[in-house]
Amino acid sequence: MLLNGHEYDVQHEGVGPVDAAIKAITTAIKKEDKVDFKLTEFNVEIPTTGSDATVEATMVLQDEYGTQVVEKGTSPDIIVASIEAFEKGYNELAYQRSKKGGE
């Protein structure tokens, strides 16, 4: 995975592929950034029907200061939708922290 111009070879086990992917990404992020955050909620919905249905993943992330963000990702693939939601959430937490004068 590429993060801030650095390549990381990260692997993680999880309860399933989404859990493993999020844990691996979190491991890489924590090597680059010392922000402490956690995933507090994760929800998946399939708002459409049929073989071309799109998955909507919603994640709530919270940093060490209690700031919470809610982000969504959409894709026909649950893993891609989940990673998109996680990436958006982490980026929003980083943005909120930078507005507060954090590192």
pLDDT per residue of the chain (103 residues) written in tens, 0 to 9: 666 677 877 778 888 999 999 999 888 888 877 778 999 999 999 988 888 899 999 999 999 889 999 999 999 999 999 999 999 999 999 898 888 775 5
List of domains in the chain: 2-99 (3.30.160.270)
Q: How many CB atoms are located within 10 Å of the residue 21 CB?
A: 19
Q: What are the residues whose beta carbons fall under 8 Å from the beta carbon of 63, sequence distance 6 or more?
A: 35, 36, 37, 93, 96, 97
User: For residue 103, what pLDDT is reported?
Assistant: 53
Q: In the numeric block, which tokens belong to residue 44?
A: 């998946």
Q: State the Cα–Cα distance between residues 25 and 96, nearest whole angstrom.
A: 20
Q: What whole-number distance in Å separates Cα of residue 62 and Cα of residue 90?
A: 9
pLDDT on residue 102? 54
Confidence (pLDDT) at 54: 95
pLDDT at 89: 95
* pLDDT at res. 87: 93
